């Protein structure tokens, strides 16, 4: 799909309230495509803009997991490393049995 077609499709989705958001395509550090569609706030009638700040909420868990797994892949620690040891939390009430894996899978307690 060429970029003009992509833009037209995203505009159509936004016009029918099926999409609100920002699209960005970069290649070799250069912006190839950028567009803002729909509403940043329907309640307040604020249109979406490329520079709008989003409340990321729980999606930050995804970023944290990716960064953590990159460190595991680099050999800095393993998924079974004690969270207390890695985070320097000895002397706290956190169980020494809690591992990085537990934290990433939300099974720490």
Any idea which residue has 């016009």 for tokens? 15
Token couple for 34? 């950028």
Of 89 and 11, the one with more pLDDT: 11
DSSP summary character for residue 66: H
pLDDT digits (tens, 9 = 90+) for 21-79: 999 999 999 999 999 999 999 999 999 999 998 888 888 899 999 999 999 999 999 99
Structure tokens at 44: 């307040």
Query: Domain segments of the chain: what residues?
Result: 3-53, 58-104
Dump pLDDT digits (tens) for 66-105. Answer: 999 999 999 999 999 999 988 888 889 989 899 999 999 9
> Which run of H or of E encompasses 87?
helix 83-87
87-97: pLDDT as tens digits: 888 889 989 89
Residue 37, number of CB atoms within 10 A of its CB: 20
């Amino acid at each position: 799909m060429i970029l003009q077609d992509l833009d037209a499709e995203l505009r159509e989705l936004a016009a029918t309230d099926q999409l609100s958001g920002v699209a960005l395509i970069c290649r070799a550090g250069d912006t190839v495509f950028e567009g803002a569609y729909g509403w940043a706030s329907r309640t307040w009638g604020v249109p979406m803009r490329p520079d709008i700040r989003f409340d990321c909420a729980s999606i930050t868990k995804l970023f944290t997991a990716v960064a953590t797994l990159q460190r595991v892949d680099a050999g800095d620690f393993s998924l079974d490393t004690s969270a207390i040891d890695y985070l320097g939390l000895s002397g706290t009430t956190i169980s020494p049995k809690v591992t990085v894996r537990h934290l990433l899978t939300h099974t720490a307690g």
